[in-house]
Structure 1
């Protein structure tokens, strides 16, 4: 039986050995993301036939595997057979795989044909944007965002600071604590706050990028992202104090301009089925929604 280990910061080197130049179109497989959500998703991993197997257990979804990383065409079916055996003895597994992208789904279709069952995980589709458009904010669809940005710039005495100095890190943590205290508490938010605190102190090691915004020398918001390859950056965290009109439009555009301008696309993750979040993400005119699938394989 597979033996899984809880994800820790010290596992990053091992994960990067398998991830290499990030070849995924979604944000799910980023080590920074997995580490950020390791408690909420109960992220664990094992090595099977020289492939990295990541297992998560999420509220409402149960236990699932992500795409094996480092498999070969010669050993993929053997790997999946062992994962199916693991699922047999784990009643919390409703499906075998989650966070599956279309290229891997197509490989599974070739192997399993009619035994394969798959469903679009619509509320978890990733929103993908052109970096240049997020910086220029040109066009009718982005006129409101540009107006919000301009309002912030003209209305407040602001400054930008990199999240690298201890004072800025501590300011961001304090801001996050206050931001979350104003939300209706649940397990996910508790885990997110803990994850933010953990990554704040390890941004450099995690290859993360962070920017804080101050108004009159008081922190007003911050964002954390990363560049995973020459084509894609990911925004993992974005928090702002809405007492400052246009704060989110300002954070969004300024971070893209100062930190991500050389990357073609920006992934701003999913809307998790929240209507307000969906409207906000659509308002920035994504070029596409990157599909993700839930996948199961019927046993003989």
Structure 2
């Protein structure tokens, strides 16, 4: 099970082990974005199968970045770890800001999934050489602005910024505040505050800081981070009073820090009209999509009510209030339920009363978490079959228990087969799985009669039935 740790400023070196060579090209897969927007998204991390897994909070819901593999990382195993964690915590495994090169993998993985690709999220990616040279007709405006700037400020120079330049940076923010035109925009004010905090991290080796100097005055600055073949620009600020300083700064920064990167990512525009206009004027090669995958389980798509299933001797149907006494007796038979693998009493979220277990079963179906069938003989509840742990990939687990006084007659096998068939062809699952304790010879015999073996561990034998 994944154990998440909130990301703090002390985690930069650890995160860089994964982000340094990450080829996703999106700003979310960088230390700078995690630091800068940490107070908004509350990112937390875990490791699994040689991959970095980051969990974020967006609009009150937990979502996950796509796993970032290390040198020996297993993305498939990391995705399963996310899914297992979500199943244990009763939520769908929502994978967000998925890069285009991984989107097809998730489309194949989840049979029922809502996918979004919001324009506002998309990052602006430029060819490194385009920003370094501004060559060609489409960049004539940038070249003219740079020429005017160089004419007006012939002594202005670009140079890297280090921790020793923090006093210059602080003075820049004072100058910038006097020219800041969005003081009444809470979002812009908040972003500016975050930018100031980020520039305090010039001592970090994975951040590249640079500034345009006019004499001893800092008039523009930028902060970036290289991830794989992409240079991600986290911050770009300049004094508006110096006409032409922005394109001059963009070009100089790309020339100095571009190196052999393929792409320069100037991040998204946050739906700001001015930012969008500016970023488009610089001629992006493309806008990098960020896909949001929200899988649905099959219950949500196909099952509106628990159906009635009939076998040669049994009827399986929705539990009713009249079943409560018999169901309580089944659930509270501790000696028999040692093989059930789940402590029903411990699973209650409050004190136990006569209706507790019935209400749990009812609520689980309403929440699309499970289908509890009452197994009936001549109309009387003698057991239950439960289809649960929907994995959002077309699979679910099936369990069945029969009251002690009805054991030995094959009722469990009959009920189990009926629900397994319904799961595959009524719910449109592709796989139904089950397990039994190794000491439970009767259950193993029953499962082997209607499913095929699918492995074992120290505790369980596993079985599966496929379409």
Structure number with greater CO (CA < 8 Å, separation at least 6) is: 1
What RMSD over aligned residues (CA atoms) do the two structures have, in Å? 2.7
Task: Report whether the alignment pairs 1:118 with 2:118.
Answer: no
Q: 1:13-162 maps to which residues of 2 (within 5 A)?
A: 13-48=13-48, 51-58=51-58, 62-70=61-69, 72=74, 74-76=76-78, 78-85=80-87, 88=90, 96-112=94-110, 114-156=111-153, 157-162=155-160
Question: Over residues 44-87 of structure 1, what are the superposed CA-to-partner deviations in whole Å (9 max), with x where a residue is unaligned?
Answer: 223355543212224x5854211123362552453232343367
Indicate if the aligned counterparts of 2:149 and 2:244 stay in contact, CA closer than 8 A: yes
Indicate if the aligned counterparts of 2:163 and 2:201 stay in contact, CA closer than 8 A: no
Task: State the partner residue of 2:392.
Answer: none
Task: Report whether the alignment pairs 1:217 with 2:219.
Answer: no
- Please say which of residues 236-245 and 179-188 is displaced more in the overlay: 179-188
- Please say which of residues 71-80 and 20-29 is displaced more in the overlay: 71-80
Q: Distance in 2 between matches of 1:190 and 1:48?
A: 38
Q: How many residues are aligned here?
A: 292
Q: 1:187-226 maps to which residues of 2 (within 5 A)?
A: 188-189=187-188, 192-226=191-225
Task: State the partner residue of 1:184.
Answer: 183
TM-score, length-normalised on structure 2? 0.57
Q: Distance in 1 between matches of 2:60 and 2:290?
A: 14
Indicate if the aligned counterparts of 1:161 and 1:213 stay in contact, CA closer than 8 A: yes
Indicate if the aligned counterparts of 1:180 and 1:189 stay in contact, CA closer than 8 A: no
Question: Over residues 129-158 of structure 1, what are the superposed CA-to-partner deviations in whole Å (9 max), with x where a residue is unaligned?
Answer: 112111221222111111111111110132
Task: State the partner residue of 1:6.
Answer: 6
Task: State the partner residue of 2:273.
Answer: 275
Indicate if the aligned counterparts of 1:172 and 1:212 stay in contact, CA closer than 8 A: no
**Structure 1 residue 189: deviation in Å?**
4.6
**Structure 1 residue 20: deviation in Å?**
4.9
- Where structure 1 has 5 or more consecutive residues not aligned to the other structure, the ranges are none
TM-score, length-normalised on structure 1? 0.85
Q: 1:247-266 maps to which residues of 2 (within 5 A)?
A: 247-266=245-264
- Where structure 2 has 5 or more consecutive residues not aligned to the other structure, the ranges are 299-467
How has the CA–CA distance of structure 1 residues 56 and 189 changed in structure 2, closer, same or farther, with 3 Å as cutoff? farther
Task: State the partner residue of 1:241.
Answer: 239
Bigger Rg, structure 1 or 2: 2
